[in-house]
Structure 1
Amino acid sequence: MDNIRTVSDTKREFYNFFTRPISSIYRRFIEELLVEMHLLSVNADYQYNPIYALGVVTLFKKFMYGYQPDDHQDLIFDALCKSTGGDTKRYLEESDTILHEAEMLSVSDFKGNIVRLSQEEINEKLLWKSYYSIAENSKFKYSRLLAIGLYSLLEKISSDLVESKEEYNKAINQIANDLKLSSEKIQKDLEVYCGNLEKMQQLLTAIEDSLEFDRKKRISQKEENVLETSDDELKKE
């Protein structure tokens, strides 16, 4: 029997790929996402899916917004994918593809559509193939990252829909029914996701405000020093 990679193995591999220090503000998020992706990747029922990939990409971009230096974001994401056995290029390209396909749809197209499509129509779009592969796999391993991917698709189809609690709940219930997943789990995971995203945005805003305050304070101190120097020179004259 093959040895299953441990969390420690994956963390070690991640830090081999990304050798630079990670900002303390983002470190906990990165390590929690790394552990989550690891646990999924070693699960016997795990199956890669572009909607899951979209969830990973979306979560990473939302929570890593503002990370400096900016070019480290791509390197960290690459390390996350590689250390958990994923293909970085595939994650990015396929998540972009299904988002683009979703942009062409209406809400009614998306909700309950899988039951009306022929196999030929399903094979024409990566989004429908991804959707169908979940619905037809009774052992498909659900994750909150998949839920975030579904939420991202709904946002792309109609930002108004996710703002309307009643319509949003109807859409989630219909999608969960199509995919044979628990709507309660999806709703709960997305509620936590949106709440954490709001907290993170508030934290980043507070940090930006603090940095701006410090910048203005330094400028003010420099101006005061210049004035004091000028006054001293005048007194000497």
Structure 2
Amino acid sequence: MSFSSLILDTETHRLNGNPIEIAYAPIQLDQRGLTVNESLIYDEYFALDPDTEIQLSSMAIHHILPQDLIGKPNFREFRLPQDTIYLIGHNIDYDIQAIARCGQDVRNIKPICTLALARYVWPNLDSHSLSTLSYVISDNLEQTRQQLKNAHNAKTDILLTANLLDKIIQHYQITDIEQLYQQSQQARLPQFMPFGKYKGTPLTQVPIDYVQWLLRQNDIDPYLRQALEQSF
């Protein structure tokens, strides 16, 4: 199986920190559907620099302890397989930023965000966390509960993401990875103003002078910029 398309998850030493666990699974997507080869799952702990400690608030989420990292390679040694093009994950930007801190070149990576896709498929949910969505798509709540007891373990999270991805693919009737990428890119375009005096207003109803002012700002989110450009 090719490693060009991976479901990826990281656990970090603090919010927006360095990765201390990285897991990925290669996938294949074609007219037969989604295939995940669990025998090829990569899951590894990584050590931090000597002067860096795991933040307790993060430890309380992923339960990775300092002794788990003893003898492990430094996080800067991590690299993706050379043929990787697509990275898939729930809020995948967070994970891409984490592996970039390892020194991994991510400039040509095509991100596929299951969080953005799920918000389009199930727009009325009060939460789009991976745990919530796992219950939403579950055919066996007890089995799902057992899986979720290991949530925020990177390997568990990629398997949960794979289950979610399969439902999304079926919903959109997607048959190839580039089509999935394009659908994800479309899903990431906001439909409503996310901040400011017009927060919650459909982008098509935001006054044109405010839109033009926003588009002159250098630090605007690229997906918001694209959505605003398409709104008039």
* TM norm. shorter chain > 0.5: no
Which structure would you say has the larger Rg?
A: 1
TM-score between both structures, scaled by the size of structure 2: 0.26
Which has more strand, going by share of residues? 2
TM-score between both structures, scaled by the size of structure 1: 0.26
Which has more helix, going by share of residues? 1
